[in-house]
A and B are shown apart, each in its own frame.
Chain A
């Protein structure tokens, strides 16, 4: 439990620090960091529950994508502002680095392992974002149509 709290706090500050590197707009910085913390918290919750990093990455990205879409509406900013910081902690950066590292060290077993992991996690996260985008477009369309009918 304390471990979770520490990790989530670290995810918050890590994303807050990352915001300077990615030039996140100053006004949205705390909220963006909060997205990162929420994403990592839901990742840990689901990982502890199912012991599958794939499921954890998928569901946590789904959560953060929905939140990003809502925040984008409220704060009148593009979704990217909240989405990119939000997915930072779960994104398979370490896995893709390890994959190429073992490739040049000629360790084909580890290369395959990390390549699979990279593709699975990045694929799951991209799928989660894609689903959220599609649904939000659907609702937007319905919203606009309703406006026209009136």
Chain B
């Protein structure tokens, strides 16, 4: 068994899961299962929200360590699903280490939905969340329109490779501005409802809940890191909405 290759496969699996937003203990579990299956008795994995460390003792009693820095995170459930499947097959003995590496390479680039489908998703979320926040039929239509602007803003952010903070703030700014304008144009629409339902795709609700789950699981570092992440994202969104509203007021409520 080539331990270097195994180590690379294990770290790559962990990296894909962590980048795709899996909880820390799930990443550690998957990596430990793979190492245990390969017969590494003296292996240690340490996963932080911002990095992975794996160290093992080879058959010739040499220590072997791999450190991987993780700098970006988003939610991609499909990749978690694929890596889980690969590790399951590896542990069942139907995949060799080389095949695992090849499959992981494929999984790390797996994309299911086109850009258009994602934009449609943003519009749909904006529209369908408005009744949950107490909106009526006009708000539904208005929120869908705000969602269109938000999706466009999202495309622009990707095009100009904006970092996460700026992308979130820019999206929130566009949403708040267009929602205020719509609210003034059509008095039966509540701009408040339209803003809150359209930014549901930006807001870090799941991140915050996962942070508390990490903490309850005893991963205090990961929990604290994720909680900070949630606060930073919320700050970006709030700053964006704040400046969007301010901008609209400064223009004298141009639509009034």
Contact = CB atoms under 8 A, between A and B. Distances in A.
Interface of A: 6-7, 10-11, 13-14, 16-26, 28, 40, 76-78, 80-81, 84-85, 87-89, 91-94, 96-97, 99-101, 103-105, 118, 122-123, 125-127, 129-130
Given A118-B208, A122-B208, A130-B217, A104 B238 contact: yes
A10 B132 CA distance: 7
Interface of B: 22-23, 26, 75-81, 84-85, 88, 111-113, 117-118, 120-125, 128-133, 196, 199-201, 203-206, 208-213, 215-217, 230-231, 234-235, 237-239, 241-242
A26 B230 CA distance: 27
B128 A13 contact: yes
B213 A80 contact: no
Contacts of A40: 132
- Identify whether the interface residues of A are mostly helix, strand, loop, or mixed: helix
A93 B181 CA distance: 24
Closest 8 CB pairs of A and B: A93-B205, A17-B124, A91-B205, A20-B121, A93-B203, A126-B212, A14-B128, A101-B238
A77 B199 contact: no
Given A19-B121, A88-B206, 15 more contacts: A6-B131, A11-B128, A14-B124, A14-B200, A17-B120, A18-B124, A25-B78, A78-B80, A78-B84, A87-B206, A87-B209, A94-B203, A97-B203, A97-B234, A100-B231
A77 B113 CA distance: 19
Residue from the set A88, A99, A104, A126 with the largest chain B CB neighbour count within 10 Å:
A126
7 contacts: A14-B129, A17-B121, A17-B128, A23-B75, A77-B84, A78-B80, A80-B26
Contact of A84 (B112, B130, B206, B211): B206
Contacts of A123: 212
